[in-house]
Structure 1
Amino acid sequence: MMKTFLLSAPSYVLPATIEKNCLFLQKYVSGIYLAFFETKACLEYTEKDLPLSLANFPFRYHIHFPLDLKWQKDGCYEAEICFSLWEKVKFLSPWSGVLHPPKEKEKLQKFVDTWVDLGGIAEDLLIENIKGIDLVDLWPVVLGTGVNVCLDIGHMLAYGQESILHLSGFWKRVKLLHFYGKETCERHYDLSFLSDAGWNFFKKILTNISDQTEIVLELFNKKDFLNSLRILRKKQKDLGVKFV
């Protein structure tokens, strides 16, 4: 039986408000990842930035937590920031929050402990493999706390992180994929840049993950997004899956 995967996009494909992005994206994807990349600016969001009308869109929402978390102390402060952002969009019933984790497993452990103490659910947290952090050293915390994984395929290929696919219990932890052509100097390129090896990895990953896993077409401008969406739709038959 053919697997069907829910497709989502960042809330910043157009250089416009979140609401205008949602208006544009509603005919292309079923999910939105709220790109809360800057701590100070996002903590200051008001109803003007996050209007209640966002709840009227038929999207499944999740959050990408800030990229500028400092991780200077023990992880408690960062957890408080992320939980505040989670509470800010609680009216949208976000199903998960993606975290660029710290290198130190002690800080990640403290982050998760604080998140739970604040009222959060550990399983709602998705830690992402990023440059310099392939999740291997953090895996004991993942298994011990019950947090899940956002697998960034571009990061995996760019930084030689394929070994993470062999971590114990890895596949059942993957709840979200970040997908795009390639990453160079932290810039995402559209799917026309994806190598044959990249497509083969993607196909392998789709075979191993649950069809409950959401796929983010992680491009941040209209041209790259629409071109990648066209390519992805065309590839559905070869991949043996359907994207909705």
Structure 2
Amino acid sequence: MKEIPLLATTSFIYCDTRVMNVLRLMHLFDEIELLYFESRRMFDGIDENELLLLKKLNIRYCPHLPYDRDLSRKSDYEVITDFVGNLTKLPVSFFFLHSNGKDYKNIEVLAEKCPMVLVENVKNTKIFEDLFDTKINYCLDIGHLLTVGENPFEIIKKYGEKIKYIHLHGVKNGVDHLELYHLDEKLLLYIIDFAIEKKIGISLELFGFKRLLDSLNYLLEVFEKHGYAYHRWYQKW
């Protein structure tokens, strides 16, 4: 059996708080991707009480930093560094960061201070090429690749040494974050094998319980068919 090294999912599977999502999901995953998408909304701000509760839970986190900030602006850069500073109070593996393409200088400064910051592809992988000669590592979002028609096999071969995490979700008719059964099985197996070889994590970047449940049952079928195992899953639920 080939062992999957690490799986995660998001903190918005249930329509509830991040803490409650973690409590209900932590038995199934090694890490939870804490979502802080919109920092100007109260719900996505840093809350000290929430941090205290999250810290008490026996699980690691991989937070998604806000994407509503322009890191080329000093004030917005300070907001993001404040998020990183507060969230590093938790057991964190990596942070995921979007770029607008104009903020590379400050991203390099941030990544120098916190090497756990990974830059994620959004509209295309031009950012991977632009930052290739820096020390910054990458989070590869498979769904984002597919929605813009890029070839995941070629991207993984080209940038594989800098890819430290994968965001996985299905795509259909240009819509992403769908169930995993929308992915080509050959591609799914290639991604899993790459993650095993490099010993990196895969986050099932889904929103909603049914999409997660259907995706997990599909993965179990794929695992059984092709000889994969994941230490937290033993039977269908």
1:208 and 2:194 aligned: yes
Structure 2 match to 1:128: 120
Other structure's SS at 2:190 match:
helix
CA contact (8 A) 2:81 2:110 kept: no
What is the 5 A alignment of 1:56-67? 56-67=56-67
Q: What is the CA distance between 1:14 and its match in structure 2?
A: 0.9
- Letter of the structure 2 residue corresponding to residue 164 of structure 1: I
Distance 1:148 1:137 in 2: 11
TM-score, normalised relative to structure 1:
0.82
TM-score, normalised relative to structure 2:
0.84
Distance 2:194 2:171 in 1: 21
Unaligned runs of 5+ in 1: none
Distance 1:241 1:217 in 2: 17
Unaligned runs of 5+ in 2: 232-237
- Letter of the structure 1 residue corresponding to residue 210 of structure 2: K
The alpha-carbon distance between structure 1 residues 14 and 93, as it changes in their structure 2 partners (threshold 3 A), is same
Other structure's SS at 2:62 match:
strand
Q: What is the CA distance between 1:38 and its match in structure 2?
A: 0.7
Q: What is the CA distance between 1:111 and its match in structure 2?
A: 2.1
The alpha-carbon distance between structure 1 residues 200 and 9, as it changes in their structure 2 partners (threshold 3 A), is same
1:148 and 2:137 aligned: yes
Greater Cα shift, 32-41 or 54-63: 54-63
Structure 2 match to 1:112: 108
Identity of matched residues, %: 25
Distance 1:51 1:141 in 2: 32
How many pairs were matched up? 227
CA contact (8 A) 1:96 1:126 kept: yes
Distance 1:237 1:227 in 2: 16
Q: What is the CA distance between 1:20 and its match in structure 2?
A: 0.7
The alpha-carbon distance between structure 1 residues 43 and 224, as it changes in their structure 2 partners (threshold 3 A), is closer
- Letter of the structure 2 residue corresponding to residue 112 of structure 1: E
CA contact (8 A) 1:75 1:108 kept: no
Other structure's SS at 2:34 match:
strand
What is the 5 A alignment of 1:1-244? 2-41=2-41, 44-48=45-49, 50-70=50-70, 74=72, 76-104=74-102, 107-116=103-112, 120-121=113-114, 123-131=115-123, 133-134=124-125, 136-144=126-134, 146-162=135-151, 163-167=154-158, 170-182=159-171, 187-194=176-183, 198-209=184-195, 210-244=197-231
